[in-house]
Amino acid sequence: MVDFQLTPRQMELRDIAKRFATEVMIPAAEVADRIEDPEASFNWEVIREGSKRGLRTLTVPREYGGEGADVLSCAIVGETLAYGDLGLAVAFDQTWKIMTSIANMANDEQKNRWLPKIMDDDECILATAWTEPMAGSDNVWPNQQPGAGIQTYAEKKGDRWVLNGTKRYISNGGLAKVYQIAARTDKDNPMMNSLTAFLVPSDAKGFEVTEVWDKLGQRCVQNGTLEFHDVEVPEEDQIGEVGQALPALANLFIRHGSNIQAGATVLGVAQRAYDLSLQYGHARIQGSVPLLGHQLQQIRLARMAMKIEASRSYLWRTAWSTQLEEMDRKNAMLSKVFASESAVQVCQEAMEFWGAAGYMRKNPIEKLMRDALSFLHSDGTNDVLTLKAAGFLEDPPQVDDLVYSPRVAEAAAGR
């Protein structure tokens, strides 16, 4: 029997998140989204309050006092938080995924040193920094040219690594207390075996946030440019093997749920656009009946519901599959692509449904549209993720396979 029932704890976490999203995040985001200065919009009270409710440390392993949540639980809670606000949800969600990545890459001594620090500080959120001015998709679809891609360089000097370089667009940049950084430890070879990961605290000497980007959406979280000028990292803060950070990144994206959680958070935006539209559709009268008295508009809402349900099913099943040895890796990428494209389509339908009111900043729909657009590019562009997923397509059926069609072979031969 296939069981689609959530566990009691998953339902409980979803309820905690729903209450937090509606009571705390929505009012905070309504203010923060309108603040012009991107350095002034972040609301720390939301993080502190979320931390007290156990939401910040969702993926900290249980033996260190956290929830030890799996990818599916994060997808459920992430969607619910993003229902409140996508940017603030990203502040939490980045922390969960990087936490999982650290817990998988770090040795016991590192976990014993870093996890209690993260656990005990209500303001400790995390960031992961790969993207650089000249290395964006080249990190996601690894550029095989020697020396291409990431240029931030870590040089070994005695028992320290010395980092120099620039990262940009980093979520939680300027907010995080701990950064997971990917740097080259080999300048001459292709990236695959040349990147090493480090943990760098925000107060490291020589580390500077030089720009907080002004964005269309996700205005309630910061995306920063980070500069490293001779930043010294003790060798005990190198995480994972030298030269093996890129395979670890692939794990972060796929098995540890980064893509799935990205899709889940943007799904929360779509769900909110739908719920608000449902309410509006009953309240707004045109043609002497509520909007939803018109069949055309009923169809619109039904199509929105279909895309939301399809995204959720795809994301949850893929999240569940991350525990399988033989998980189908392409689904991690494609479920994010599907959910983010669907969310943009749902928001566009909502814009149409609300008429001019949807376009007005006083009303909630235009913000959702701006927010939804961010995940077409964040966590890997949809084009590049689809390109990568295509590399995992199955082998074609062979002559002795049940599904082999002789007619296909004939057609391919031009007959």
Ligand X SMILES: Cc1cc2nc3c(=O)[nH]c(=O)nc-3n(C[C@H](O)[C@H](O)[C@H](O)COP(=O)(O)OP(=O)(O)OC[C@H]3O[C@@H](n4cnc5c(N)ncnc54)[C@H](O)[C@@H]3O)c2cc1C
Contacts of 209 (CB under 8 A, 6+ apart): 173, 174, 224, 225, 226, 227
Cβ–Cβ under 8 Å, residues 359 and 294: no
Q: Which stretch binds ligand X (CB under 6 A): 15-23, 146-154, 301-309, 378-386?
A: 378-386
Cβ–Cβ under 8 Å, residues 98 and 258: no
Cβ–Cβ under 8 Å, residues 221 and 179: no
Q: Which of 95, 100, 128, 196 binds ligand X (CB under 6 A)?
A: 128
**Burial (Cβ within 10 Å: 0-12, 13-18, ≥19) of residue 211:** middle
For residue 331, which of 319, 318, 317 has the smallest C-alpha distance?
318
Cβ–Cβ under 8 Å, residues 318 and 242: no
Helices and strands (DSSP H and E) totals, the chain: 15, 10
> Is 140 a binder of ligand X (CB under 6 A)?
yes
> Is 384 a binder of ligand X (CB under 6 A)?
yes
> Is 95 a binder of ligand X (CB under 6 A)?
no
Cβ–Cβ under 8 Å, residues 16 and 54: yes
> Is 259 a binder of ligand X (CB under 6 A)?
no
Between residue 311 and residue 340, which ones bind ligand X under the rule CB under 6 A?
none
> Is 224 a binder of ligand X (CB under 6 A)?
no
Q: Which of 76, 129, 249, 365 binds ligand X (CB under 6 A)?
A: 129
Token pair belonging to 219: 């205005």
Q: Which of 171, 225, 259, 261 binds ligand X (CB under 6 A)?
A: 171
| Identity of the residue, 318 or 378, whose beta carbon is nearer to ligand X in the bound complex | 378
Token pair belonging to 26: 């929505």
Q: Which residue is nearest to ligand X (CB)?
A: 136
> Is 141 a binder of ligand X (CB under 6 A)?
yes
> Is 106 a binder of ligand X (CB under 6 A)?
no
Amino acid identity, position 371 = D
| Identity of the residue, 175 or 276, whose beta carbon is nearer to ligand X in the bound complex | 175
Q: Which stretch binds ligand X (CB under 6 A): 34-42, 198-206, 361-369, 377-385?
A: 377-385
> Is 137 a binder of ligand X (CB under 6 A)?
yes
Q: Which stretch binds ligand X (CB under 6 A): 12-20, 132-140, 158-166, 334-342?
A: 132-140
Amino acid identity, position 109 = E
Q: How far apart are CA 326 and CA 25, in angstroms?
A: 38
> Is 178 a binder of ligand X (CB under 6 A)?
no
> Is 214 a binder of ligand X (CB under 6 A)?
no
> Is 374 a binder of ligand X (CB under 6 A)?
yes
What are the strands, taking DSSP E only, across 111-268?
126-129, 153-157, 160-171, 178-184, 195-201, 207-212, 223-234, 238-239
In angstroms, give the least distance from the CB of 368 to ligand X.
15
Q: Which stretch binds ligand X (CB under 6 A): 48-56, 163-171, 250-258, 314-322?
A: 163-171
At 35 the three-state DSSP class reads coil
Token pair belonging to 209: 């946030």
Question: How many amino acids of this chain bind ligand X (CB under 6 A)?
Answer: 22
> Is 170 a binder of ligand X (CB under 6 A)?
yes
In angstroms, give the least distance from the CB of 379 to ligand X.
6
In angstroms, give the least distance from the CB of 216 to ligand X.
9
Note the residues at the interface with ligand X (CB under 6 A): 127-131, 136-137, 140-141, 169-171, 218, 223, 374, 377-378, 380-381, 383-384, 387
